[in-house]
Structure 1
Amino acid sequence: MRAGYLVPTPSPPRRPNFRQHDGSVWTRIWAVAEPTIDRRPPMSGATRLAAVIGDPVRHSLSPTLLGAAFAETGLDWTYVALEVADGSARGALDGMRALGISGLSVTMPHKAAVAAEVDRCTDDATALGAVNCVVVEEGQLVGYNTDGEGFLDGLAHDSGMDVTGRRVVVLGAGGAARAVVQALAGAGASEVVVANRTLARAEEAAAMAGSAGRALELSLGHPGGRLEGALADALGDAELVVNATSVGMGGSSEMSTIDLPVDPALIGAGSVVVDLIYHPAETALMAAMRIRGIEAYGGLSMLVCQAARAFTLWTGVEAPLLAMHTAAQASLASR
């Protein structure tokens, strides 16, 4: 194993502190955007390498996010995107070892395969069966999943919400939904209702919340019938609603039923709504909520914060959240 490959065992990243020093005023750090200055030394044989693997990977924002983080902090690291074919996760990890790559981000379709191939996983990643971040710890490749904690970090930034004791509805039961459900339960949410078109998948995702979890069937379009009635009640009572489906990703903020995961009128007036979609910046669901005066946020903060946690796990340095967010916004604006 080459010299310089081992890095200290990292401590779990802390929840970012988005409050001012006196703790009284909520500060949204995304409000001010300034260009990132690349403070890194010239690349050399000492430069550390991190990468993202996926198939496809050219759409990934990870190089933008992590590249901005390394540039802003001046760390002698660089970050690249590597297209790795489905089924080749083991070879990619062997390459990580052989090349001395110091950190790895993992996107689709490799999250489950990497979880099975790393030397060990954290408890959260094991429960999810999915890894989005590989960290080198004492010569071992350790799999993490930063999505759930990244969601909570982003929620704290955007709305200031503490989910302890809160009633939550999560729409969808895919990998992102499962990570969010797990994190919500771990943070003390009193009830996490998971609604999905396939009830069995909703039940699997709800199980991530233990006794706080409950599964319901999600019928897109027009609610009606017993299960949909139960979902309507849950939406009306929820203090937080999370859309983890792909409905609304089409790019239109027009409020047609095809772009809405549920009837917006069912969501209670006192709720906070988070749509995990980050492009477009405003989905039809978000637009419908804002018309009603309901707080609604997109998924960019979660994306930034999960990447920030990976950055800190690799480097032990606090991530420059503003620089990362600014770079992501600029990249998305050009798409």
Structure 2
Amino acid sequence: MTTMRGGSRIRGGTRTVGIIGWPVSHSLSPAIHNAAFAALDLDWAYVPLPVAPGDAVGAVAGLRTLGFAGANVTMPHKSDVADVVDTLSEDARRLHAVNTVLIGEDGMTGHNTDTPGFDRFLRRDAGFDPAGRSALIFGAGGAGRACALALARAAASRITIVARDPVSTADLRQALDGLSSELVVSAFEDAAATPADLVVNATPLGADGEQLPLPPIDDSTLVIDLLYHPAITPMQTTARESGAAVFGGLGLLLHQAALSFELWTGHPAPLEVMSAAAVASIAERS
């Protein structure tokens, strides 16, 4: 019997999950999930699985061979894993990106919990109903596309994607096909002239003090910066000074993690426990 950091014990019958990515040493997911398993007295363990670029196919096959119950998937492997699982959920298919793998008797299913996680975050944490509202999202990468899909599913009226490379939005248009929201693509220099009810930063900009070209913001605007380190970014500071409601990215991380937890275990996720574990882990690194 092996004792993990934090007191968790791995036995012969322990169910194992983990996170595939490169790098993964910075991930908060092991702390979040192991705290949740302990809180519910589940004989499960969550481990980091560093997998170099190009090696995702072999790693996913190895999960099944080694008896894993599933895994989270992070950069740069989300698209590669979508190509090799047996079945894709609707959101994973639309985005061609998998962040959660569930392994069962009928094979491996790829899910994307970022999309429903963002919807939960908006409604439960921010009290925001996207229906009929406008949104501006900085970034057309995986996080930005997941947020856009969540908003389109919720019948947002207009979604403006601010991207350095407009070509990168072609996949997003396909992902939103058949949904009613108007999709607009904007250059960074035009963002400041695009008013919106919801503003989301889904880029790394701000982590090193960069400021984004924010649109007009007031006390009716919701601003979400998906960065959770640093805790306060220039975007958040500017938005608060303008009276907006402001949230960092920890909420999305927690809600998508909770959905992964529920897919694997079948138990409701102890969100408060997971949140406390994330905050403690961030504090340890500060």
Question: Aligned partners of 2:123 and 2:7: how far apart in 1?
Answer: 29
Q: Normalising by the residue count of structure 2, what TM-score does the alignment of the two structures yield?
A: 0.91
1:193·1:206 contact (CA, 8 Å) conserved in 2? no
2:70 matched residue in structure 1? 103
Kindly tell me: are residues 298 and 206 of structure 1, through their superposed partners in 2, closer, same or farther at Cα, counting changes over 3 Å? farther
2:122·2:128 contact (CA, 8 Å) conserved in 1? yes
Does the residue aligned with 2:10 lie in a helix, a strand or coil? coil
Deviations 1:299-324 (A, max 9, x none): 00000110110000001000010111
1:289 matched residue in structure 2? 239
Deviations 1:195-240 (A, max 9, x none): 1121222454355334423233322xxx4xxxx2xx4443x2x111
1:326 matched residue in structure 2? 276
Say which of 239, 258, 263 aligns to 1:308: 258
Does the residue aligned with 2:146 lie in a helix, a strand or coil? helix
1:181·1:208 contact (CA, 8 Å) conserved in 2? no
Give the residue type in structure 1 aligned to 2:52: A
Say which of 205, 212, 216 aligns to 1:247: 205
Does the residue aligned with 1:334 lie in a helix, a strand or coil? helix
1:26 matched residue in structure 2? none
Question: Aligned partners of 1:177 and 1:263: how far apart in 2?
Answer: 16
Question: Aligned partners of 2:169 and 2:62: how far apart in 1?
Answer: 37
What is the aligned-residue identity percentage? 44
* Deviation, structure 1 residue 149: 1.1
1:198 matched residue in structure 2? 165
1:22 matched residue in structure 2? none
Question: Aligned partners of 1:152 and 1:284: how far apart in 2?
Answer: 25
Give the residue type in structure 2 aligned to 1:296: V
Does the residue aligned with 2:223 lie in a helix, a strand or coil? strand
**Which segment is superposed worse, 266-275 or 199-208?**
199-208
Give the residue type in structure 1 aligned to 2:120: D
Say which of 69, 77, 91 aligns to 1:124: 91
1:194·1:206 contact (CA, 8 Å) conserved in 2? no
Question: Aligned partners of 1:141 and 1:241: how far apart in 2?
Answer: 35
Q: Which one has the largest radius of gyration?
A: 1
* Deviation, structure 1 residue 249: 1.3
* Deviation, structure 1 residue 113: 0.8
Counterparts of 1:19-34 in structure 2, within 5 Å, are none
2:3 matched residue in structure 1? none
* Deviation, structure 1 residue 108: 1.1
Say which of 114, 119, 128 aligns to 1:161: 128
User: What is the RMSD computed on CA atoms of the aligned residues?
Assistant: 1.8
Deviations 1:77-124 (A, max 9, x none): 011101112111121122111111011111111111111011111121
Deviations 1:225-271 (A, max 9, x none): xxx2xx4443x2x1111111211012x4xxxxxx122146x234411
1:195·1:202 contact (CA, 8 Å) conserved in 2? no
Does the residue aligned with 1:201 lie in a helix, a strand or coil? helix
Q: Report 1 or 2 for greater relative contact order, CA contacts < 8 Å, sequence distance ≥ 6.
A: 1
Question: Aligned partners of 2:135 and 2:176: how far apart in 1?
Answer: 11
- Residue segments in structure 2 that go unaligned for 5+ positions in a row: 1-5
Does the residue aligned with 1:216 lie in a helix, a strand or coil? strand
1:281·1:298 contact (CA, 8 Å) conserved in 2? yes
Question: Aligned partners of 2:96 and 2:174: how far apart in 1?
Answer: 14
Q: Normalising by the residue count of structure 1, what TM-score does the alignment of the two structures yield?
A: 0.78
* Deviation, structure 1 residue 292: 1.6
Counterparts of 1:41-80 in structure 2, within 5 Å, are 42-80=9-47
Question: Aligned partners of 1:203 and 1:139: how far apart in 2?
Answer: 33
2:219·2:245 contact (CA, 8 Å) conserved in 1? no
Does the residue aligned with 1:180 lie in a helix, a strand or coil? helix
Say which of 182, 185, 188 aligns to 1:216: 185
Give the residue type in structure 2 aligned to 1:323: V
Counting matched residue pairs gives: 278
* Deviation, structure 1 residue 39: 10
1:245·1:261 contact (CA, 8 Å) conserved in 2? no
